Structures are given as structure tokens and as C-alpha cells.
């Protein structure tokens, strides 16, 4: 059986550190930072860690329906989505993800654009 990216990069603890670094950058972004002004960040980061773990082949499973419900009323547009992708890709690079592995993660994120982008 092929090793998942989840296992390759250290499992839940390592993914949690990636997600924390990712959110540090998101919160500093003028483009997407305001989305998190009144958000329970501990809860969000827990959900996001499970989501990223699932993208990497880990044990968590986040359905597309749940993903869409979470983003439905946020007004996220293509510019916001691209900023998030840019920050995520850089965060993965900063944490030692190889280029092909980053590309695989970004393809998984892109495949969920329709569930996340809800604005014009």
C-alpha cells in the first residue's frame, strides 16, 4: 500500500502545526484576514486540521456538503480563494512539503472551489 501524504509528513500533530502556521498567515492577510474577526479560532483550527488531514489521506472525512454549508454565507470570491491557496502553498513549502506533494494538495483544494467560493 502506498504511503499517504498524511503519514509521509508526520500525521495529525504535524498537520496541526501546518494549520496553525497557515492561520497565522491568513490572519495577517488584508485580503482574507477580516473573515476571521469574530470566529472561534480554536474550533475553526480543529476543523481545518481535520480537513487538511483528510486531503492528505488521513483518517478524518469532511464531506463536500459540510464544506459548502460552512462557507455558504461568507461571500468568499475567487480573489479570496486564490489568496488562501497562495498562503497554503507557501505554508506547505515552509514545512518541507515537496513540490509534487504541494501540487497534489493544491489540486485537492482546487477541486473544492465550488463548495467554498460563494460570492461573485
The pLDDT tens digits for 16-38 are 999 999 999 999 999 999 999 99
Residue partners of 73: CB distance under 8 A and separation at least 6: 118
User: Could you tell me the end-to-end alpha-carbon distance of the chain, in angstroms, rounded to an integer?
Assistant: 42
- From the list 114, 2, 113, the residue with the least C-alpha distance to 57 is 2
* Verdict on whether the full-model pTM lies above 0.85: yes
CATH pick for 5-116 out of 3.40.50.1980, 1.10.490.10, 3.10.20.600, 1.10.1060.10:
1.10.490.10
d(CA 35, CA 76): 9
Q: Using the predicted structure, report yes or no on whether residue 62 has a pLDDT greater than 90.
A: no
Give the pLDDT mean for 57-69. Answer: 84
**Domain residue extents for the chain:** 5-116
Amino acid at each position: 500500500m502506498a504511503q499517504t501524504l498524511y503519514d509521509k509528513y508526520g500525521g495529525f500533530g504535524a498537520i496541526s502545526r501546518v494549520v496553525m502556521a497557515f492561520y497565522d498567515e491568513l490572519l495577517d492577510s488584508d485580503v482574507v484576514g477580516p473573515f476571521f474577526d469574530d470566529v472561534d479560532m480554536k474550533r475553526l483550527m480543529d476543523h481545518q486540521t481535520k480537513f487538511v488531514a483528510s486531503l492528505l489521506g488521513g483518517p478524518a472525512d469532511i464531506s463536500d456538503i459540510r464544506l459548502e454549508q460552512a462557507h455558504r454565507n461568507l461571500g468568499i470570491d475567487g480573489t479570496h480563494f486564490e489568496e488562501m491557496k497562495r498562503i497554503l502553498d507557501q505554508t506547505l513549502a515552509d514545512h518541507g512539503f515537496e513540490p509534487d506533494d504541494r501540487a497534489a494538495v493544491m489540486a485537492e483544494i482546487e477541486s473544492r472551489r465550488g463548495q467554498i467560493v460563494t460570492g461573485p
